[in-house]
């Protein structure tokens, strides 16, 4: 069965493709379904290019004025929802250029002088990704502010600290919040660092080898807010590591958000009962009226998987490509758009949950003393007061834990006599270190969990954020 060719309405194909692409080819080739997102960046790039062409005398001032007016009108048309996107015109660039020529005539046909869709799309994509980075970096900062505010509020709120999700040592809720503030601050730094490397302008690289026209690439780079033009035309049109780096930074940030989301899921479980989220950030069940499901946290956790997948997808697309441009690179955008959109949602949801969640301080304090959580404090006391080598102290403490476990009590539940059956030199002062509050207060080393440390670190954070 043959597939009839559709009428060719895309003039870029020229005489060689007189019958036009087949319906299948048109469908697989078109990117307008997703790259229309870049229309603002495309217009910005074209305005800068037209201004440069007029400045160096390649087009007239009148043509440049007509292009500027036409693009402004098209921007208004798109904003108002009246622009008709055509799949036959393939992409955002050709749709806008065709509409421009329709509106202003011959001047519109001169806009594409000394550029190619290869450098045009590379420029638009960098502009779009840069804008996304700026927005996400601001959201990360907002999340950090939310975490620091909760840390200040709960600098002395005792909770269990875990390793292997087993009780380890008492910590504070404030210290826990600041751990995520550190992670998100690094995430923001990664995003801004990637932005700095992205900030070179490919415009003027043309198809792959530059152009014979006397263009001024530094002028267009400056007009678009880039630090300068890319230094190699092949690299300018053929590289997408800026997109990979964005996706990597997004995936790492999402992974940190997912870890916090997982903890919120655990903490809101009644078996833990450490925090409560309001109705606005939870859902009910269609059949079980008692349920309060932490769906916002679960969706943050779930969306991380697709962001990790977007990174792997682009790495796989690019890994076998020779220089310079290949149509495979049309697959570079959807993952970036998706990760940017979903990371925006995840950051907003996380900031909302951090500000919303209400700790059950009594339950956390009670749990902080469970599971022999002050065993390390006991070992440290044996080293400090009885001068035992730490390995010997560790062994003594292990025997005391086993004794307490056998008696069904925690370490403070052992009598002094029971302790002396294991180590005769233990005295009454040992009980001063066996409470969660004493344990937390003693952790005063830099970066430790002592409330005074947390308050000092909050002050440092507030100065940094100011």
CA triple 240-246-248, angle to 5 deg? 105
CA 240, CA 243: separation in Å to the nearest integer?
5
Query: Which two tokens mark 138?
Result: 């601001």
Closest C-alpha to 439, from 194, 196, 160, 176: 160
Query: Which two tokens mark 178?
Result: 């600041």
CA 80, CA 103: separation in Å to the nearest integer?
17
Do the Cβ atoms of 357 and 276 come closer than 8 Å? yes
2, 164, 322, 445: the active-site residue:
164
Query: Which two tokens mark 75?
Result: 């921007």
176 is catalytic: no
Burial class (CB in 10 A: 0-12, 13-18, 19+), 429: exposed
Map residue 293 onto helix, strand or coil.
strand
Closest C-alpha to 431, from 441, 445, 419: 419
55, 60, 233, 285: the active-site residue:
285
CA distances for 231 relative to 53, 123, 268, 324, angstroms? 20, 14, 53, 15
Do the Cβ atoms of 89 and 29 come closer than 8 Å? no
CA 23, CA 29: separation in Å to the nearest integer?
10
Written as one string, the DSSP assignment of 161-223 is EEETTEEEEEEEHHHHHHHHHHHHHHHHHHHHHHHHHH-EE-TT-TTTT--SS---HHHHHHH
218 is catalytic: no
User: What does DSSP say about strands 228-229 and 200-201: parallel, antiparallel, or unpaired?
Assistant: parallel
Closest C-alpha to 246, from 135, 117, 120: 135
Q: What is the DSSP letter of 431?
A: G
Active site residues: 164, 285
């Amino acid at each position: 069965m043959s597939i009839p060719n559709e009428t060719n309405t895309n003039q870029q194909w020229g005489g060689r493709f007189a019958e036009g692409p087949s319906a299948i080819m048109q469908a697989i080739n078109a990117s307008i379904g997703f790259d229309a997102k870049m229309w603002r960046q495309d217009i910005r790039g074209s305005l800068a290019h037209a201004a440069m062409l007029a400045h160096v005398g390649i087009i007239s001032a009148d043509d440049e004025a007509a292009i500027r007016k036409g693009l402004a009108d098209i921007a208004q048309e798109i904003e108002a929802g009246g622009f008709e996107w055509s799949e036959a015109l393939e992409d955002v660039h050709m749709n806008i250029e065709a509409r421009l020529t329709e509106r202003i005539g011959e001047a519109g046909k001169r806009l594409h002088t000394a550029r190619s869709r290869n450098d045009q799309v590379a420029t638009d994509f960098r502009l779009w990704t840069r804008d996304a980075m700026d927005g996400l970096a601001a959201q990360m900062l907002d999340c950090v502010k939310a975490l620091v505010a909760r840390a200040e509020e709960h600098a002395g709120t005792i909770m269990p600290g875990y390793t292997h999700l087993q009780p380890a040592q008492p910590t504070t809720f404030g210290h826990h919040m600041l751990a995520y503030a550190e992670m998100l601050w690094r995430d923001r730094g990664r995003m801004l660092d990637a932005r700095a490397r992205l900030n070179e302008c490919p415009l003027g690289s043309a198809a792959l080898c530059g152009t014979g026209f006397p263009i001024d690439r530094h002028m267009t780079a400056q007009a678009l807010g880039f630090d300068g033009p890319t230094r190699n035309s092949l690299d300018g049109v053929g590289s997408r590591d800026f997109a990979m780096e964005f996706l990597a930074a997004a995936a790492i940030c999402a992974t940190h958000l997912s870890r916090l989301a997982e903890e919120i899921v655990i903490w809101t479980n009644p078996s833990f009962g450490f925090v409560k989220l309001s109705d606005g950030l939870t859902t009910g069940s269609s059949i079980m009226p008692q349920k309060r499901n932490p769906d916002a946290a679960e969706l943050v956790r779930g969306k991380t998987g697709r962001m990790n997948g977007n990174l792997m997808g682009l790495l796989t697309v690019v890994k076998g490509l020779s220089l310079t441009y290949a149509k495979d690179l049309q697959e570079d955008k959807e993952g970036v758009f998706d990760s940017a959109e979903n990371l925006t949602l995840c950051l907003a949801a996380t900031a909302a949950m951090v500000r919303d969640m209400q700790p059950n301080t009594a339950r956390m304090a009670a749990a902080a003393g469970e599971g022999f959580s002050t065993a390390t404090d006991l070992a440290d006391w044996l080293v400090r007061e009885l001068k035992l080598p730490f390995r010997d102290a560790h062994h003594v403490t292990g025997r005391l834990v086993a004794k307490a476990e056998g008696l069904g009590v925690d370490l403070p539940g052992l009598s002094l006599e029971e302790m002396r059956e294991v180590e005769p030199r233990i005295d009454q002062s040992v009980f001063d270190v066996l409470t969660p509050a004493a344990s937390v207060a003693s952790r005063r080393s830099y970066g430790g969990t002592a409330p005074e440390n947390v308050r000092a670190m909050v002050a440092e954070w507030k100065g940094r954020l100011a």
